């Protein structure tokens, strides 16, 4: 085929790929756009020089990072659609999450709730006791002040009432001076009028002289009949025959003291009080009449019934006879004198009870009620003791505006105090009281504080106390929870015994004679994460590591670190294992087995299933916390490095342990160990290692387990015979710089886009890698191209690297199966000769064939592809070969080369001439 046929075949290949794989078109367009943007930014004019510069970029350089970012931005794997939530929903979710976290902390350490609860009880008890004690003290003080105020008011009332009743004493003295009726009757009216004029605020209404118990005269008295003055109806009244007031009259005559009747409703209207005083003459003979004329009833009018003539006192059916004459003292009873006082005037003008209201008190002034009064006024209250209110504050009982004082209007509307209210003092709240006694009369003054005895600040202060107690307790609770969470997080990162040392500002170091260190990582993590959204990677690792953390806690091991997909923990540190190094190693091995078993059945977020490698080594180590910023507890020493090498030289879903660890496990007993033999280990030389394939059920010991474990069926088949080593497979080292390639046929270098239209199929796990003899010889001719396998098992790639002479196999080259995206990719022509030599950092097997034609060597270029995966380009006519375990037929295809189905174990050769090469699988002798 001539050189001019190259573009035509290239175009037909592209069209074929576009027709069968529509997604390939958009994918290649995006890759072209990304690389085109990179070329524009570099302002490169020469297309070949641009590609040379691209392939020659150093891994990790700024240019390489720009290319990676451009491709990554266009080829992100899974698009995660964020669910939009409202602010309220976010707040509620945050509250629910925080509440669950707090409850979890409380369940783990009940002290964080008990201490604030105890503080709450103490604060509530002490605070409320202080508030209520202070309120009680203030209440008592207020009652004491009120009691003193009431007593003072009662004393004032006694004094003023005594002044009001003074005319009765004057009349008594006046009569005893000259008891002769003509003398008394002649001078009494002017004297009585003068007494009325001088009375307190005009409270005295009338003065009466009652010789022999009959009212003979009354001052003032207007007119000549009741039509002129209602007081005329009182003339001729016989007090000794007044059955209703008989007790009061008897009290006045027997005690010879002033007796007060009322307050009561007066016949002439209004409310009044009667002060009655007995007049006795000493010495006087028993038959003395004092010239008092007989009284003829009926002479003044019809109201004086029945008409009769009364000479001396009428003692019929009365208890007064024993008091008429006292033989021991020769004292003769003369009669009575009464003073009628207006209670309305006294209440409104003299008592000054309104002062109590001004001081914030409500009051009731009441007198006892006799049963006969109750029978007449309130029969329903006849049984029991009651008191009639004669004065009260408006706050106790409101009075209608049109109410009167027994037909007598008050000074202002609503100020009337009719005598119709009983037991008003019971409406007062725990009132204080004072008794008022005036010459046998008894009144009781009740009062309470209108605002209440309890201070108004008691309830608010109690509420404030409760709120403060709750807030302080809640604050302490949150502080303790936060501290407990902080300490729990700190203890999860740094052991407890290290924290106290760091707090003192000291450097912590500790040596251990024997510890067992475990390393694990996820197989093909780099490629897998490249095909996932970052959030999916985080979710997957978090879900996996949470399970590992639970296992570490179960087996009483300490997790040292997680770096990406690497998981590291230790047994026998930070606390020295009291059961010995063998027990620590046994727990670590149990942990490793549980990790393998968990990973084999665990479906992670997004439906991912991963495989892990585990390496374990035992030996001395030094634990320390270095640095001051973000301090971390970690182990130092060769033991850690060796454990890492055990993991990197291991196989998926297997536990690779050193001889030291195998010896400790042998001491512990119960584990199934499979010798692996001697293998070269980077930095360690040749080491004898083992596989841990299972353990028996442990009823007791450092880590009991109910069932035996066996992981021998979870890992791939053993290596091919004669193969003793597996090169290291660290994800961090997977970056290749391709060797230079020479095109000797005179054809110009040009970009080629190719797509593998078939995949390599096999009955075994494509993850396995192995060494194989060199593949068949490559065909001669044109430029190399891309060899991809979009139909293969997701995440698989066959790569081959060779540096051989034309038409022959100069040396084996490395080939490997690693994850890659299922879409086709694009790569430009091979790099020019001036680029750096090939650098292989992969665990590989198999060999690429030699380039043919005029090419001096075959080569394969490796650049980064979709989502961080890697793309292999065949050399100039070179054959690319990868090996896979197992038998069967593998289908192969390549652009520009021959496609054939070859049996396992055979070699396939590329067609002579043309651009591209043959992708072959299997192993065989040199072609």
DSSP track, 724-751: -------GGG---BPPP----SSPPP--
Mapped onto helix, strand or coil, the DSSP state of residue 94 is: helix
Cα torsion 598, 599, 604, 609: sign: negative
Which pLDDT score, from 0 to 100, does residue 83 have? 60
- Range 894-899 contact pairs with CB under 8 angstroms and sequence separation of 24 or more: 894/754, 894/756, 894/787, 894/918, 894/919, 895/13, 895/752, 895/754, 895/755, 895/756, 895/785, 895/786, 895/787, 896/9, 896/13, 896/752, 896/754, 896/782, 896/785, 897/779, 898/779, 899/758
Output phi, psi for 70, to 5 deg.
Answer: -65, -45
Query: Can you name the residues that pair with 434 across neighbouring β-strands?
Result: 445
CA 3 distance to own-chain centroid: 77
Token pair 């060779």 is found at: 802
Token pair for 456:
């108004």
Which pLDDT score, from 0 to 100, does residue 924 have? 36
- What is the rounded (10 degree) CA torsion for 562, 568, 573, 577? 140
- Give the span between the Cα atoms of 829 and 491, in whole angstroms: 56
DSSP-derived pairing of the beta strands 308-310 and 295-297: antiparallel
- What is the rounded (10 degree) CA torsion for 848, 850, 856, 857? 10
* Alpha helix ranges (H) inside 43-110: 47-55, 62-74, 87-108
- Give the span between the Cα atoms of 522 and 612, in whole angstroms: 4
Q: CB of 605 within 8 A of CB of 543?
A: yes
Sheet holding 361-368, edge to edge: 387-392, 361-368, 441-449, 432-438
- Name the burial class of residue 500, with classes exposed (0-12), middle (13-18) and buried (19+) by CB atoms within 10 angstroms of its CB: exposed
Q: Tens of pLDDT along 812-834?
A: 333 333 333 333 333 333 444 33
- Give the span between the Cα atoms of 297 and 1, in whole angstroms: 171
Vertex 877: Cα angle to 873 and 879 (nearest 5): 70
Sorted by sequence, the CB contacts under 8 Å of residue 220 that are 6+ apart come out as 192, 193, 196, 206, 231
Token pair for 435:
């008794």
Which pLDDT score, from 0 to 100, does residue 922 have? 36
Task: Give the CA count within 13 Å in the CB-facing half-sphere of 262.
Answer: 23
Q: CB of 336 within 8 A of CB of 175?
A: no
Mapped onto helix, strand or coil, the DSSP state of residue 636 is: strand
CA 517 distance to own-chain centroid: 40
- Name the burial class of residue 153, with classes exposed (0-12), middle (13-18) and buried (19+) by CB atoms within 10 angstroms of its CB: buried
Sorted by sequence, the CB contacts under 8 Å of residue 798 that are 6+ apart come out as 760, 787, 789, 815, 816, 817, 872, 880, 881, 882, 919, 921
Token pair for 125:
């008890």
Q: Is it true that the peptide bond before 220 is cis, omega within 30 degrees of 0?
A: yes
- Give the span between the Cα atoms of 524 and 734, in whole angstroms: 10
Burial per residue of 224-239, b for 16 or more beta-carbon CB atoms within 10 angstroms, e otherwise: eebeebebbbbbbbbb
Residue 257's nearest CA partner among 286, 237, 277 is: 277
* Alpha helix ranges (H) inside 628-784: 638-648, 659-668
Mapped onto helix, strand or coil, the DSSP state of residue 758 is: coil
- Give the span between the Cα atoms of 706 and 904, in whole angstroms: 45
Which pLDDT score, from 0 to 100, does residue 702 have? 64
* Alpha helix ranges (H) inside 709-828: none
Q: CB of 668 within 8 A of CB of 577?
A: no
User: Roughly what angle, to the nearest 10 degrees, separates helices 5-20 and 22-42?
Assistant: 130
- Give the span between the Cα atoms of 659 and 877, in whole angstroms: 47
Read off the DSSP letter of residue 45. Answer: -
* Alpha helix ranges (H) inside 760-830: none
Mapped onto helix, strand or coil, the DSSP state of residue 341 is: strand
Q: Which residues of the chain have pLDDT under 50?
A: 1-28, 30-31, 33-80, 719-927
Sorted by sequence, the CB contacts under 8 Å of residue 622 that are 6+ apart come out as 509, 510, 511, 512, 635, 636, 637
Q: Which helix (H) or strand (E) covers residue 599, if one does?
A: helix 581-601
Q: CB of 915 within 8 A of CB of 784?
A: yes
Which pLDDT score, from 0 to 100, does residue 707 have? 85
> How does DSSP assign 505-530, residue by residue?
TPPPEEEEEEEEEEEEEETTHHHHHH
DSSP-derived pairing of the beta strands 361-368 and 441-449: antiparallel
Query: Can you name the residues that pair with 217 across neighbouring β-strands?
Result: 209
Mapped onto helix, strand or coil, the DSSP state of residue 503 is: helix
Sorted by sequence, the CB contacts under 8 Å of residue 43 that are 6+ apart come out as none
- Give the span between the Cα atoms of 52 and 39, in whole angstroms: 12
- Give the span between the Cα atoms of 581 and 567, in whole angstroms: 21
In total, the chain counts a number of residues equal to 927
3-state helix, strand and coil shares in percent for the chain, rounded to the nearest 5: 35, 20, 45
Output phi, psi for 498, to 5 deg.
Answer: -80, -35
- What is the rounded (10 degree) CA torsion for 519, 522, 527, 533? -110
- Give the span between the Cα atoms of 662 and 441, in whole angstroms: 115
End-to-end CA distance of the chain: 23
Sorted by sequence, the CB contacts under 8 Å of residue 807 that are 6+ apart come out as 777, 780, 850, 852
Token pair for 899:
């496609």
């Amino acid at each position: 085929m001539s050189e001019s046929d190259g573009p035509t075949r290239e175009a037909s290949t592209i069209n074929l790929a576009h027709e069968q794989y529509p997604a390939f078109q958009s994918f290649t367009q995006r890759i072209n756009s990304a690389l085109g943007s990179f070329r524009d930014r570099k302002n490169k004019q020469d297309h070949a020089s641009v590609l040379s510069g691209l392939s020659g970029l150093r891994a990790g350089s700024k240019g390489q990072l720009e290319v990676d970012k451009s491709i990554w931005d266009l080829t992100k794997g899974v698009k995660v659609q964020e669910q939009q939530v409202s602010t309220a929903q976010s707040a509620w979710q945050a509250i629910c999450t925080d509440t669950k976290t707090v409850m979890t902390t409380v369940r783990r350490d009940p002290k964080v709730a008990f201490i604030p609860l105890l503080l709450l009880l103490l604060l509530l008890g002490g605070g409320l006791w202080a508030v209520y004690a202070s309120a009680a003290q203030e209440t008592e003080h207020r009652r004491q002040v009120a009691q003193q105020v009431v007593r003072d008011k009662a004393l004032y009332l006694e004094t003023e009432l005594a002044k009001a009743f003074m005319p009765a004493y004057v009349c008594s003295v006046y009569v005893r001076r000259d008891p002769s009726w003509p003398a008394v009757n002649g001078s009494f009216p002017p004297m009585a009028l003068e007494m009325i004029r001088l009375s307190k605020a005009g409270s005295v209404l009338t003065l009466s002289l009652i010789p022999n118990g009959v009212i003979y005269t009354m001052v003032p008295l207007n007119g000549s009949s009741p039509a002129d003055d209602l007081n005329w109806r009182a003339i001729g009244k016989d007090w000794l025959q007044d059955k209703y007031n008989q007790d009061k009259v008897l009290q006045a005559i027997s005690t010879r003291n002033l007796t007060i009747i009322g307050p009561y409703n007066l016949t002439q209207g209004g409310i009044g009080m009667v002060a009655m005083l007995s007049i006795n003459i000493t010495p006087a003979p028993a038959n003395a009449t004092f010239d008092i004329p007989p009284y003829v009833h009926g002479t003044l009018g019809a109201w004086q019934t029945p008409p009769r003539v009364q000479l001396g006192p009428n003692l019929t059916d009365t208890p007064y006879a024993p008091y008429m004459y006292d033989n021991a003292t020769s004292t003769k009873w003369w009669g009575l004198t009464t003073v009628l006082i207006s209670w309305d005037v006294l209440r409104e003008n003299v008592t000054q009870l309104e002062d109590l209201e001004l001081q914030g008190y409500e009051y009731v002034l009441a007198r006892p009620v006799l049963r006969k009064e109750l029978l007449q006024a309130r029969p329903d209250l006849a049984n029991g003791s009651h008191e009639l209110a004669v004065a009260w504050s408006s706050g106790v009982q409101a009075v209608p505006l049109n109410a009167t004082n027994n037909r007598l209007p008050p000074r202002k509307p609503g100020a009337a105090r009719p005598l119709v209210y009983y037991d008003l003092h019971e409406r007062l709240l725990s009132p204080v009281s004072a008794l008022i006694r005036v010459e046998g009369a008894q009144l009781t003054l009740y009062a309470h504080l209108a605002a209440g005895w309890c201070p108004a600040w008691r309830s608010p202060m109690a509420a404030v106390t409760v709120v403060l107690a709750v807030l302080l307790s809640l604050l302490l609770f949150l502080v303790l929870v936060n501290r407990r969470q902080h300490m729990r997080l700190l203890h999860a990162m740094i052991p407890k015994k290290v924290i106290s040392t760091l707090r003192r500002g000291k450097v912590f170091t500790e040596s251990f004679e024997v510890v067992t260190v475990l390393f694990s990582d996820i197989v093909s993590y780099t490629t897998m994460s490249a095909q996932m959204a970052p959030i999916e990677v985080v979710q997957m690792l978090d879900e996996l590591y949470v399970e590992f953390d639970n296992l570490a806690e179960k087996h009483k091991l300490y997790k040292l670190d997680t770096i990406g997909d690497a998981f590291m923990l230790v047994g026998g540190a930070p606390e020295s294992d009291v059961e010995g190094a063998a027990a620590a190693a046994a727990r670590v091995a149990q942990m490793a087995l549980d990790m393998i078993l968990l990973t084999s059945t665990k479906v992670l977020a997004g439906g991912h299933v991963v495989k892990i490698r585990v390496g374990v080594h035992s030996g001395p180590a030094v634990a320390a916390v270095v640095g001051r910023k973000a301090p971390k507890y970690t182990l130092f020493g060769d033991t850690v490095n060796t454990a890492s090498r055990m993991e990197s030289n291991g196989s998926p879903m297997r536990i690779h342990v050193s001889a030291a660890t195998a010896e400790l496990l042998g001491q512990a007993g119960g584990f199934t160990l499979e010798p692996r033999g001697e293998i070269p280990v980077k930095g360690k030389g040749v080491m004898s290692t083992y596989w841990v394939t299972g353990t028996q059920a442990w009823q007791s010991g450092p880590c009991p387990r109910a069932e035996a474990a066996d992981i021998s069926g979870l890992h791939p088949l053993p290596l091919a015979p004669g193969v003793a080593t597996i090169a290291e497979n660290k994800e961090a080292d997977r970056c290749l710089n391709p060797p230079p390639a020479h095109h000797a046929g005179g054809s110009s270098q040009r970009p080629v886009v190719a797509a593998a239209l078939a995949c390599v199929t096999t009955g075994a796990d494509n993850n396995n890698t192995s060494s194989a003899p060199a593949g068949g010889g490559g065909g001669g001719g044109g430029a190399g191209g891309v060899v991809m396998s979009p139909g293969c098992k997701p995440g698989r790639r066959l790569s081959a690297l060779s540096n051989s002479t034309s038409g022959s196999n100069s040396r084996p080259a490395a080939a490997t199966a690693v994850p890659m995206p299922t879409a086709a990719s694009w790569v430009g022509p091979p790099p020019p000769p001036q680029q750096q030599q090939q650098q292989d950092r992969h665990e590989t097997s198999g060999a690429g064939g030699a380039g043919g034609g005029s090419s001096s060597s075959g080569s394969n270029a490796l650049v980064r592809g979709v989502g961080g995966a890697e793309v292999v380009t065949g050399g100039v006519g070179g054959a690319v070969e990868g090996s896979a375990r197992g038998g069967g037929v593998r289908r192969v295809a390549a652009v520009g080369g021959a496609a054939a189905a070859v049996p396992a174990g055979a070699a396939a050769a590329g067609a002579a001439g043309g651009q591209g090469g043959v992708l072959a699988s299997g192993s065989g002798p040199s072609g």
